Amino acid sequence: MRRFTSWKTWSDAQAPLRDSLPEAVLTDVAAAVAFAAERHADQQRPTGVPYMEHLLEALEVAVVGAGVRDRDVLVAIVLHDVVEDTPCEPEEIRDRFGEQVADLVAWVTKPPTPSGADKAAVKQGYLRALADAPRVAVLVKLADRVSNVQELHRMSSDFQRRYHRETLDYIVPLAAADPWFADWFRTWREEWRHLETDHAN
């Protein structure tokens, strides 16, 4: 299974991105990275690493792995968590980065759980809705999930089982329409095949 963990900082990403993207796209991606860094500030992932590492991993997945070059998709990948996890309103994304980016971020933003509602049910509804998402929004979600599951070994065993099952149920079917992502999740699934045995027992 190929891992995408080379871009720890924006400095790590700049040279390979410059070799891959038109200057105008690189400029917009850089602006999105600066915006995300400001909003996520000192947030950390559950593994304890700075949040920006996850965003840059997802970007690396898209550019180096899947060969994505679409400006709106790449910007949305960098910004995919700002509405869900920081004090950022969707209108700010629309004003700064355009309608299409705002729509892509909206597709992959998990809605807040209403008072008295079941959090797991809300998340399942959100994941089921992705089946109707446009392909460009699915690309954002797939890059995000590759970043997450490539580090699954660093999580607790309970989280591993739950997230693995969720990925098989909702994300792997989304990847089927894209050859690169379909193949990556196939190799990932082989590495974690033992958890499927756990699910069956």
Active-site positions read 84-85
5 closest CA partner among 67, 42, 55: 55
- Asked if residues 108 and 140 have their Cβ atoms less than 8 Å apart, the reply is yes
- Asked if residues 54 and 8 have their Cβ atoms less than 8 Å apart, the reply is no
DSSP secondary structure letter of residue 44: B
Helix (H, G, I), strand (E, B) or coil at 118: coil
The residue written with tokens 């993207």 in the block is 21
